[in-house]
Amino acid sequence: MSVRWTHAAGGQLQAIRDYLARSSPGYAQALAGRIIAKSEALDGQPLFGSEVPEYGDPTIREVFEHPYRIIYQVSGGGIEVVAVIHSSRRLPRLLP
């Protein structure tokens, strides 16, 4: 089962990396790498993450790479990372 990223999720990851790189380029790169690795680890085990309680949809799940929530959707076509959001922020009502 392949793992893909939406354009929105990729943009969020890039924004996180850019923001953190202003004060710590090494940390920014390392964190982005861990987030990508965490998403790639879902390949073959799409139900590894927890259901996102705010959405009440069993196909929308999440894993964490502190302090970020990596939100993904499982479908017959694979796994799609739809958002990367700081855990202190509220989730949008609708995902991009």
- List the domains of the chain with CATH numbers: 3-86 (3.30.2310.20)
Residue 96: pLDDT band with limits 50, 70, 90: low
Whole-number percent of the chain with pLDDT over 70: 96
Pairing between β-strand 50-51 and β-strand 3-5 as defined by DSSP bridges: unpaired
Q: Residues 35-52: what's their mean pLDDT?
A: 94
C-alpha–C-alpha distance, residues 54 and 31, integer Å = 25
Q: Is the pLDDT of residue 20 over 70?
A: yes
Tokens (6 digits) for 11: 């943009």
pLDDT of 94 reads 64
Q: Is the pLDDT of residue 77 over 80?
A: no
> What's the pTM value of the predicted model, to 2 decimals?
0.91
pLDDT digit string (tens) for 50-64? Answer: 999 989 899 999 999
C-alpha–C-alpha distance, residues 54 and 39, integer Å = 20
Comparing 2 with 37, the larger pLDDT belongs to 37
Do 56 and 17 contact (CB within 8 A), yes or no?
no
Nearest to 67 by CA among 7, 19, 2, 6: 19
